[in-house]
């Protein structure tokens, strides 16, 4: 039978579109309400680790994702000149014959998830949001910004780290906080050296990372630890980035510095993080993905956690006839796992902000995190 027949999903990001597809597959009708325009999908790249690929495989999505990006297996640390200091293989946890992890452009991933959700029957309203939510014992009624009113059995808030629904349902108690670090990102041509997750580290602790996205492209990121969020005027961004890259002499990074300013989309994103304690539901509204937990990106796992949330929530809604039981079990299965990944990512960030341990400490944490993620969901 299952706990629900019709579900609203607010937010058509990674979590929202994945859960729409997952629910449609088990016969639940879904309506996704996304405030953005699909043509506005931007962003550099994203890495999906083996646990995310395993969840996508269970949902029949992994082949399309692998075709849309570039798989990789190794994590290496290089010095500023590009000399390899250490290299390790990531475990192939979901299929011994396929890559441990995948990099792809975010707009590409968004399009794949949208195509699958739509094909499996989800209705998606772009440029639309929710203006009012009323819930009672039998359902939840929403008013949409386009003037429509609609009713369903459950509302899933997948509206990201600054979730308005979290605020309206749970109040101001659970808010993201700035973690003292942010990241600059832009896309460059990929070289052979960038064949996996590569971290270029200076003795000062400064780090530049490279993640492959396709045969031709990879994205570079620069972590910046600052007590306050950075505010660099737009006309100074290129010089600022060139200065950040200047101490790195690896040929691929020298080449990357040269293309700054060539019509590149350069983004800065401060890390606003949140790990909300369960329950993530109240009545007929439940949080999913960044709305409930927004992680530091050091474990490249926030999107993977949203995908796992989607899989587990659909499983529990299918397995249980009682909605409260389904939602409680979803929270129980997710809170501890996400919390551990959040803690490991935060510990890596702390070490980057104020290095206190040896060079291998962060790699050790990363290894610990990967081993933990390999455990079944
Ligand atoms: C710098 C950086 C790098 C990262 N790298 C990785 C990585 O390599 N791998 C990884 O797995 N994760 C990574 N993450 C994390 C990942 O991006 C997020 O965890 C993931 O996007 C969360 O998905 P989501 O669907 O929960 O939220 P989002 O992707 O934020 O989607 C929320 C959606 O809701 C919509 N929305 C918001 N409010 C409303 C509203 N009121 N009404 C209607 N729609 C609304 C938004 O427009 C958006 O489309 C990174 C994060 C950062 C900041």
Class of domain 177-271: alpha beta
Give 243-246's long-range contacts (Cβ < 8 A, gap of 24+): 244/184, 244/206, 244/208, 245/208
232 alpha carbon – ligand 1 mean position (Å): 23
Residues of the chain within CATH 3.30.9.30 domain(s) are 177-271
- For 6-70+105-176+274-374, the fitting CATH number among 1.20.1440.230, 3.40.50.11890, 3.50.50.60, 3.40.605.10 is 3.50.50.60
> To test ligand 1's pocket by mutation, which of 37, 290, 296, 373 has the most ligand atoms within 8 angstroms of CB?
290
Is the distance from the beta carbon of residue 209 to the nearest atom of ligand 1 less than 6 Å? no
pLDDT at 263: 67
Answer whether 211's CB lies under 8 Å from 219's CB.
yes
Dist. CA 250 → ligand 1 center (Å) = 32
Q: Which residues lie closer than 8 Å to 142 by C-beta, 6 or more apart?
A: 8, 33, 130, 132, 133, 134, 149, 150, 151, 152, 155
Domain with CATH 3.50.50.60 in the chain: 6-70+105-176+274-374
Atom of ligand 1 nearest to the CA of 12: 49
Considering only CA atoms, which of 234, 343, 356, 353 is closest in space to residue 299?
343
Average pLDDT across each block of 10 residues of the chain; the chain has 377 residues. List them in order. Answer: 94 98 98 90 87 98 97 94 91 93 95 97 98 97 98 98 97 95 92 92 87 93 92 90 94 93 82 97 98 95 98 98 98 98 95 82 90 94
Closest residue (by CA) to atom 17 of ligand 1?
303
Those residues with Cβ within 8 angstroms of residue 90's Cβ, 6 or more apart along the chain or in another chain: 49, 50, 72, 73, 74, 75, 100, 101, 196, 197, 370
Here the tokens at position 326 are 């389904």
């Amino acid at each position: 039978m299952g706990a629900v027949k019709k579900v609203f999903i607010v937010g058509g990001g990674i979590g929202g579109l994945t859960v729409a597809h997952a629910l449609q597959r088990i016969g639940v009708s879904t309506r996704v309400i996304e405030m953005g325009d699909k043509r506005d999908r931007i962003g550099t790249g994203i890495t999906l680790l083996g646990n995310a690929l395993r969840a996508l495989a269970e949902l029949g999505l992994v082949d399309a994702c692998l075709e849309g990006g570039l798989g990789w297996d190794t994590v290496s640390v290089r010095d500023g000149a590009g000399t390899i200091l250490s290299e390790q293989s990531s475990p192939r946890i979901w299929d011994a014959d396929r890559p441990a992890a995948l990099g792809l452009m975010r707009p590409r991933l968004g399009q794949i998830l949208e195509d699958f959700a739509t094909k499996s029957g989800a209705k998606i309203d772009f440029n639309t949001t929710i203006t009012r939510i009323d819930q009672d014992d039998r359902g939840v009624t929403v008013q949409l910004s386009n003037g429509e009113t609609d009713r369903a059995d459950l509302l899933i808030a997948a509206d990201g780290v600054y979730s308005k629904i979290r605020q309206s349902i749970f109040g101001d108690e659970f808010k993201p906080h700035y973690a003292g670090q942010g990241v600059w990102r832009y896309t460059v041509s990929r070289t052979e050296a960038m064949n996996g997750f590569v971290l270029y580290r200076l003795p000062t602790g400064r780090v530049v990372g490279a993640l492959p996205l396709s045969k031709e492209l990879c994205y570079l990121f620069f972590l910046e630890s600052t007590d306050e969020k950075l505010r660099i005027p737009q006309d100074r961004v290129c010089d600022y980035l060139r200065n950040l890259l200047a101490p790195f002499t690896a040929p691929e990074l020298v080449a990357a510095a040269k293309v700054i300013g060539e019509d590149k989309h350069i983004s800065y994103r401060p890390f606003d993080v949140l790990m909300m304690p369960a329950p993530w539901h109240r009545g007929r509204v439940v949080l999913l993905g960044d709305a409930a937990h927004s992680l530091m990106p050091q474990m490249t796992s926030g999107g993977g956690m949203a995908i796992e949330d989607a899989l587990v929530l659909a499983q529990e809604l299918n397995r249980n006839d009682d909605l409260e039981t389904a939602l409680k079990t979803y929270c129980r299965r997710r809170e501890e796992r996400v919390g551990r990944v959040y803690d490991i990512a935060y510990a890596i960030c702390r070490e980057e902000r104020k290095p206190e341990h040896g060079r291998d400490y962060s790699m050790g944490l990363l290894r610990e995190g990967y081993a933990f993620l390999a455990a079944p969901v």
